[in-house]
Amino acid sequence: MKTKKKCSKIKNKDYFYILFYALLIIFLLIGIDLRTRNIPDEITINTVSFFYTRTKDLYYDGVYPIKDSKSLYPLTYKENYPPFLSLFTVGLYKIIELFNVNLHYFIVIFPVLMYIFLFFFGFFMLSQLYNKITGLFFIILLTIMPVVNKLTVKGYYTEEALGVLLILITIFSIIKSEENIYYIFLTITALTLLALTWQVFIFLLTGILLLLIIKINSKKHLIKYLITLILPIFLAHIISVFLIGIDYSPIDMFKESYLGITKSDTTNFKIALDRGKLRPMDFNSYVEEYSYFGVIFLIFGSFICLKNIKKPKYYVIFLFVIFSIIFLLKYVKFRFLAVVPILIISSIGLEGIYNRFKKYKKSFILITIIITLGLLIIANYNPKCEMRLTVPEEIQVNETYNVTIQVKNIGRDSLCDNNLLNKAHPFSGLHVEVENAKVINKKINSLSTLVQTMDTYSIDNIDWFEVKIDCLKKSAIANVTFTLKPYKLPVKINYRCWIPTKCNKKAPEDLRSEYRVSWRNEKCLHRMPTKGEFCNVKVYSGYKEKQDYSCFSEII
Amino acid sequence: MKLQAIWKIAFLTFFVCFSINQGLSTQKIIKNGFDEDYIKEFSKVMNWLIENSDENDIVLTEWTLGNQVIALANRKVIATSKVYPSEVEIVAERYKDISKFFFATSEASSLIIVNKYNISFIFLDKNFNYRTCRYINICNLRNYQKYLTSKNDLIPQLRSSLIVSRMLDKDKMDNYELVYNSKNFLIYKVAKKIIYSALNNTHSSGFSGYKELIEEISKKPVKEKYSEVYGGIIPHDIIHSYSIIASFFQKLNRSYKTIMILGPDHFHTSKEKISTSLYNWETPFGILKPDLAMIEKLNITDDEYAHIKEHSIRTLLPFIKYKYPNTKIVPIILRNDLTKNESNKLSENISKIIENDTLVLAGIDFSHIRPADANLSIKEDAKSLNVIRNFEKHKIDSLNIDSKPSLLTLLNIMENINATKTRLFRLTNSALINKNTNASVGYISLIFMRENVE
């Protein structure tokens, strides 16, 4: 009997390992497929393709290009961007080219290779730090999370994928060095290479500085962190400036960071660094990048870290997650910087639910309820337009009067894109009808967005016009002032507004084809008023037939 | 133990299924971020650039595409996305120069940037980012988007003067030749012989399509010519009335140092009721310059955007430049809410400042009747003509014309300078000229002379 039990136990364990490794292989294949299927063999247009140029030049010329005479013609200046990506790519390619792969193709699939490296390194490191289950969850999240896919998709050849790998190694070695000081060499190596790869190494140093402060009472750790903070910078500086001979220096990046913080309000700064990614990350953007997994399991993981905060493998990660979130809230640009800490803590959260549910049952149930409520509230927080009409109290025929309608977004940012001339471009708006008076002129102003009016049209005794408002952000206002000249009393003003939100609904079938976009689905539009008497003037709104919408009315 | 095992299996299964579902959503997100056709097309256009340009050629493009042009076509550009905070001053200037090129309102203005960087090619993504207007502070203009795309029924050739819009519309330009056109991209080559010299502060009048017509009509002989002309009324609806406008100028037999043109501000674009332009105007026949000395004396606010958008004066500029290559202009647009008192005050000012060698024109279209009715139009316009001839200014309000302030101001000026003798050149309407038109617009072409002139 005992032998039978022992046999079945062993068999169960075997099945478990088979399943475990099968999952690893399956997700690796899924990950590669997601990153390569139906994607052309070209570097993507939205990448910063000067790394591509540097790598090509390095391979064909044999030396790293020192001067740049093409980016700011006619100025020629010494190269001042990190060199390690190109060096690493060419170094790796020298091995791969034996298999008859051309350089262009290698560069294009390089990000996918980085995914494979992250996959294996990540699994190994997390298995070492925590356990194999955490490692498994890490690689699953790595495979399916949108932000990691964007980072490692075929064609997206930038320094960020390699940088994320080096961040992973750095964090791993920092945690390990808490118990075994010799891991400091790995930390220094990884940080040096990171400083030669990606300028955001500075933010990682911030995390290390915080660790230094926490460990200030321990002489051993204090010295360790001091060395970790200083040595990689100088090593990278020597390699870049003296060995390679370019102008890039990690020391200069401190100055650049300082300028970036202190000069960000100047006009030229706003022009030269006019980047969509230099905007704060809101909840919806975070979910777009990290999915709801990155919300739910981050919370669970944070809980587990706090419960075990005395252990280095939890407090180090928790610290890095905190400052990653802080930087993410400041700029979307740091979405890749935050990948490793968020993935690790989410994996910890998943492992906690998987292995320790019984231990933390009550807390997990409470967290689940709070998350569910939170998500329900956020799902309903949409952009909303509100109007305020200001009219004269008394009016006379043939005199002119100013009327103002203020349109305000009292919800979250409206749907917005840059393509102003596209008929599919989403916009908020105001529709105004004036009965028994002529609309003589109109003025609109809005500090925060572009606005434009249509001509005024006349039908019988009604003058009407519409105002288009682009990208009406949260709390933004557009003021519409028009002059009217009554020819009969009373004068009646009908008005309504609308504002689009992001949603994935299908575009209505009865829209004309050039206007067939999802934001025109009524479920994606907030209108005010939502019901009541219709306006006098029907409009097409992109449909084949004219539509009726409700209006507020004011009689003067 | 059993419960724990069941929990683990259930959770793992649930999580793996959700992960796969998330993976599929992620694939959609990634796919939506890629337009395979766009990427292939981009590669193709870069190859074209390699084959059809020289290694040392400079390409002007939006800064977002700069790196790609270097990487894939190995050509020099004037700016890319590469910038450190310490470099913002230089890079911002470059971004502004790129915007100055694309948002230039004449070829002459755009050539300043072309010459500055020795540009050989302009590479344009048809999905141009107009928001870069922020760099040079022209986004706070009213109706900016409409300004860029507006196509007026009455004047279908009205286009935005912006170089980028003209390039996207593939308008024929003197200094830029379209050499590549695909679904998403355009490449223009800078002409070897630059037709205009680079000139700052210049707008384009547009209507280059009428160049040959103006030349043809202006060469036809006329029976009579008039010397002592001080004022005139001409239409501005160029589509149907270009021959009327051309004939008007043909019949003038003297030179003018300055021509003042009054016209309506049709769309209330200007924030002022009376506004002028201080810019040069690039016409198919050359550059027309403003009479800045006279404008200064008049003390009128300039509103360049309103003058670019408004067509009532722009349509006349090619004709003026053709007939009077050395004459300067004073363009003035008037909003329809200009009161009689304001109009009188303006006329008084103008009358004091203008000299004998100044011609004051009003670009006015008369009756607007929809649907078209040629007879009704003639009837209405005859009424207007009577009022003009008899200087019955108190009746102007009842007339069917598109600029009562322009007419009132002109009549006041003509009275003040004793040029009250009128001579009608033509009274007609668009329905008589073109039987297929939807609306009839009345045209009167008339001059004002001094009494003792035959």
Residue with more model confidence, B360 or A79: B360
pLDDT number for residue B143: 40
Question: Average pLDDT in the A264-292 region?
Answer: 81
pLDDT number for residue B174: 85
Residue of B nearest to A248 (CA): B84
Task: List the 258-277 stretch of B: residues with Cβ below 8 A of A.
Answer: 267-268, 271
pLDDT band at A46 (very low <50, low <70, confident <90, very high): low
pLDDT band at B78 (very low <50, low <70, confident <90, very high): very high
d(CA A184, CA A130): 20
CB of B62 closer than 8 Å to CB of B125: yes
> Alpha helices, DSSP H only, in A97-158?
103-129, 132-144, 146-152
- In this complex, which of A34, A50, A420 lies closest to B70 when CB atoms are compared? A50
Q: Which backbone phi and psi does B114 adopt, to 5 degrees?
A: -60, -45
Pairing relationship of beta strands A525-528 and A492-500 according to DSSP bridges = antiparallel
pLDDT number for residue A448: 60
Question: Average pLDDT in the A45-63 region?
Answer: 83
pLDDT at A174 over 90: yes
Chain A residues with beta carbon closer than 8 angstroms to that of B91: 72, 272
- In this complex, which of A48, A358, A453 lies closest to B4 when CB atoms are compared? A358
Strand partners, B24: none
pLDDT at B232 over 90: yes
Q: How far is CA B241 from the centre of its chain?
A: 19
Chain B residues with beta carbon closer than 8 angstroms to that of A443: 142, 271
A42, B43: Cβ pair inside 8 Å? yes
Task: List the 24-43 stretch of B: residues with Cβ below 8 A of A.
Answer: 25-27, 29-31, 33-34, 36, 38-40, 42-43
pLDDT band at A35 (very low <50, low <70, confident <90, very high): very high
Task: List the 128-147 stretch of B: residues with Cβ below 8 A of A.
Answer: 129-132, 134-135, 139, 142-146
Q: How far is CA B437 from the centre of its chain?
A: 24
Comparing A472-481, B83-92, B282-291, the range with the smallest average pLDDT is A472-481
Q: How far is CA A534 from the centre of its chain?
A: 41
B51 residue type, one letter: E
B88, A140: Cβ pair inside 8 Å? no
pLDDT number for residue A421: 54
Nearest to B426 by CA among B399, B447, B405: B447
Question: Average pLDDT in the A88-104 region?
Answer: 93
Task: Please enumerate in sequence order all residues whose Cβ is within 8 A of that of A125, keeping only pairs 6 or more positions apart, or say none.
Answer: A135, A168, A169, A172
pLDDT number for residue B149: 36
Chain A residues with beta carbon closer than 8 angstroms to that of B15: 137, 140, 350
Q: Quote the ipTM score.
A: 0.75
CB pairs under 8 A between A and B: 205
Task: Please enumerate in sequence order all residues whose Cβ is within 8 A of that of B391, keeping only pairs 6 or more positions apart, or say none.
Answer: B411, B414, B415, B420
A450, B39: Cβ pair inside 8 Å? no
B92, A69: Cβ pair inside 8 Å? no
Question: What is the model's pTM?
Answer: 0.77
Chain A residues with beta carbon closer than 8 angstroms to that of B81: 48, 275
User: Which of A17, A26, A49 to mutate against chain B (most B CBs within 10 Å)?
Assistant: A49
H or E segment and range at residue A78: strand A77-78
Which of helix, strand or coil describes residue A220? helix
Residue with more model confidence, B308 or B340: B340
> Please, what is the average pLDDT of chain A?
87
| CB atoms near residue B181 (< 10 Å) | 12
Structure tokens at B317: 């500029």
pLDDT number for residue B270: 84
Strand partners, A482: A403, A442
B16, A140: Cβ pair inside 8 Å? yes
pLDDT at A423 over 70: no
Q: Mean pLDDT: which of A6-15, A68-77, B252-261 is highest?
A: B252-261
Nearest to A194 by CA among A223, A242, A159: A159
Chain B residues with beta carbon closer than 8 angstroms to that of A259: 84-86
User: Which of A37, A44, A45 to mutate against chain B (most B CBs within 10 Å)?
Assistant: A45
Comparing A422-431, B70-79, B170-179, B292-301, the range with the smallest average pLDDT is A422-431
Strand partners, A467: A430, A453
d(CA B324, CA A86): 63
A418, B22: Cβ pair inside 8 Å? no
State the SS3 of chain B: CHHHHHHHHHHHHHHHHHHHHHHHHHHHHHHHCCCHHHHHHHHHHHHHHHHHCCCCCEEECCHHHHHHHHHHHCCEECCCCCCCHHHHHHHHHHHHHHHHHHCCCCHHHHHHHHHHHCCCEEEEECCCCHHHHHHHCCCCCCCHHHHHHCCCCCCCCCCCCCHHHHHHCCCCCCCEEEEEECCCEEEEEECCCCCCCCCCCEEECCCHHHHHHHHHHHHCCCCCCECCEEEEEECCCHHHHHHHHHHHHHCECCCCCEEEEEEECCCCCCCCCEEECCCEEEECCEEEEECHHHHHHHCCCECHHHHHHCCCCHHHHHHHHHHCCCCEEEEEEECCCCCHHHHHHHHHHHHHHCCCCEEEEEECCCCEECCCCHHHHHHHHHHHHHHHHCCCHHHHHHCCCCCHHHHHHHHHHHHHCCCCEEEEEEEEEHHHHCCCCCCEEEEEEEEEECCCCC
Report CA torsion sign: A389, A393, A396, A399: negative
H or E segment and range at residue A468: strand A462-469
- In this complex, which of A44, A50, A140 lies closest to B19 when CB atoms are compared? A140
Chain B residues with beta carbon closer than 8 angstroms to that of A74: 117-118
B26, A149: Cβ pair inside 8 Å? yes
Q: Mean pLDDT: which of A293-307, A361-375, B208-222 is highest?
A: A293-307
